[in-house]
Amino acid sequence: MKLAVIPARGGSKRIPRKNIRPFGGRPMIAWSIGAARTSGLFDRIIVSTDDREIAETARALGAEVPFFRPANLSGDYTGTVPVIAHAVDWQNTQGEPAEEVCCIYATAPFIEVDDLRRGLVILQESGADFAFSVTRYAAPIQRALRVRLDNRVEMFDARQFNTRSQDLEEAWHDAGQFYWGRAEAWLSGKPLFGPHAAPVVLPRHRVQDIDTLEDWDRAELLLRARGFQ
């Protein structure tokens, strides 16, 4: 079976209650649940949460919350992989084991159905253990700067000062939207990033991490630019 898991704990610090905070007239998590449902890809769409209000919101939006996430998987430093592995392990006790599992972040309002479908195809055809959304860095990371404690600037790699941008290797980063994986890969605890993962490339204009209030404001600007009020 194909399983979608949306991690949505209740303890967000920098943006309180961000998983259900209104965004574009809907709870933030509604965008992820809506894309998962519209895709028609999944036999089950589960929200993994430790929070009753998030659970009620998720159920009202058409997702399942068949369990509450244990405290040891709900802390500030809990990674994505053990949370998804927990959900996969739970599903495997229900008589219909998961085969392909997609983690969809609750704060991914620009996720698109076609990308989810494309990600599944890439997972299946590439032979990779994972396939996840990536996008290009806007500027060459080899020419990155640091601001020192004395408020002066230096390059991370001063050898690149005279290298033309077009001569530098292009770099990519996690787009923070979704992660397809084979059930056994999630259960093994294998890290998401590595040669066993394939990229699902997204354009930069549809990618925005939402970790701070500044991120949230920028995401709202992007939403309006895409025609949503």
Domain ranges of the chain: 2-136+172-222
Quote the CA–CA distance of 151 and 90 in Å, as a whole number: 50
Do the beta carbons of residue 191 and residue 166 sit within 8 Å?
Answer: no
Do the beta carbons of residue 142 and residue 163 sit within 8 Å?
Answer: yes
Q: What are the DSSP calls for 135-179, one per residue?
A: EE-SS-GGG-EEE-TTS-EEES-GGGTTS-GGGSPP-EEEEEEEE
Q: Mind listing the pLDDT tens digit for each residue in 159-210?
A: 999 999 999 999 999 999 999 999 999 999 999 999 999 999 999 999 999 9
* CATH 3.90.550.10 applies to domain 2-136+172-222: yes
Q: Mind listing the pLDDT tens digit for each residue in 30-79?
A: 999 999 999 999 999 999 999 999 999 999 999 999 999 999 999 888 99
Backbone torsion region of residue 227, taken as left when φ is above 0, otherwise alpha when ψ lies between -120 and 50, otherwise beta: left
Q: Mind listing the pLDDT tens digit for each residue in 115-162?
A: 999 999 999 999 999 999 999 999 999 999 999 999 999 999 999 999
pTM as predicted? 0.94
